[in-house]
Amino acid sequence: MAKQRVSMRDIARLANVSVSAVSLVVRDKPGVAPETRERIQRIMAQLGYTTSTGSNGEKPMTIGLMIERSSMPVIFDVFYGDIIRGIQSEARRLGYQVLLHIFDREAEGMESLRASVEGKVRGLVIANDGDITPELVVQLESIGVPLVLVESYVPGHRLPCILGDNFTAGYTAMRHLLDLGHRRIAVLGGPRKYSSLTDRLKGCLAAAAEAGLLIPAELMPPPVHGHPQKGYLQMREVLQLAQLPTGVVAISDKTAFGAMEAIKEAGLRIPHDIAIVSIDDVDESAYARPPLTTVHIPRLEMGTLAMQKLHRLITNDAEIPVKSVVYGELVVRESCGAASGSQTSIAPGARLSHAK
């Protein structure tokens, strides 16, 4: 077997151990029994395995930023774009280079991923669009380097992740409309396979239930799968009802922008006829007409924390919490008609600010 083709998976299979155990030995970390360590090192020597890409025999100070091909739009999405910038900025501060890799979860794609990163990176950040399955986690863990997920988590797996407090964000958005007196409220949700959007929806419905309000199915139109104007189409469906809502909670700013277009196209005014509140606070929300009231999600901070957590995993720096949550704030603008000085009841952990 040629030296350059030997992988940690090859060594793990021959040594009858996990890829993680091989990774610990390669990185000279504790956690492997002495006799197992010797067996792994012996097989590494026999196969001529090396991770050296520099003169000191160590892996370069490089981390991998992994994005699935089906999630490629996240690179151009404002929300994930800010997260990625946070990762890159903190990586530079800590002395790491960032290797961007686009992968497919099919067998050929995962093998290509391993060939691209094995022996070249010290850890991976997965900035997907939320569609992380247990099967994908197993494939990613088999690469044998520390992993951190951003805006995704997989129940049952102790994989470190950074999350926005999406439940509280949804709760806060709905609570704002309720406190302004709205009782007929539409909720424009997103695909349920994305955990972040599902948590936002749960928060919305929890706030409504707390107020004794049950959102009818007619006011919760499902998104059109794969359509770039989901919010526009969802809002058009709502606008065909005999009794219109007085308020709308959009699951994201992107959804809200489409909904606002549909409302204005129907000859209705925001917020006089229909108020709308959203979640994300992307830059464009401040320049919408009218400016959009939205729950700010600290995206740059999420990227920064993800890189900090990965660095701690790489350097074996103390115990790392599995789930780290960042909290947002409600930014009150003009799309709900709330007075600039008004106060809105916010769930614990959230904050309120007023944009000029």
Domain boundaries, the chain: 1-50, 166-297+328-354
Q: Which residues pair with 249 in a beta bridge?
A: 187, 277
Q: Is 116 helix (H, G, I), strand (E, B) or coil?
A: helix
Residue 155 banded pLDDT, cuts 50, 70, 90 = confident
Measured CA distances, 118 to 64, 104, 157, 173 (Å): 10, 16, 22, 44
At the topology level of CATH, where does 166-297+328-354 sit? Rossmann fold (3.40.50)
Per-position DSSP letters for 272-287, written without gaps between them: TT-EEEEEE--GGGGG
The fold for domain 1-50 equals 434 Repressor (Amino-terminal Domain) (1.10.260)
DSSP 353: E
The model's pLDDT over 242-299, given as tens digits with 9 standing for 90+, comes to 999 999 999 999 999 999 999 999 999 999 999 999 999 999 999 999 999 999 999 9
pLDDT digits 0-9 by tens, 186-244? 999 988 877 888 999 999 999 999 999 999 999 999 988 766 688 999 999 999 999 99
Do the Cβ atoms of 185 and 215 come closer than 8 Å?
A: yes
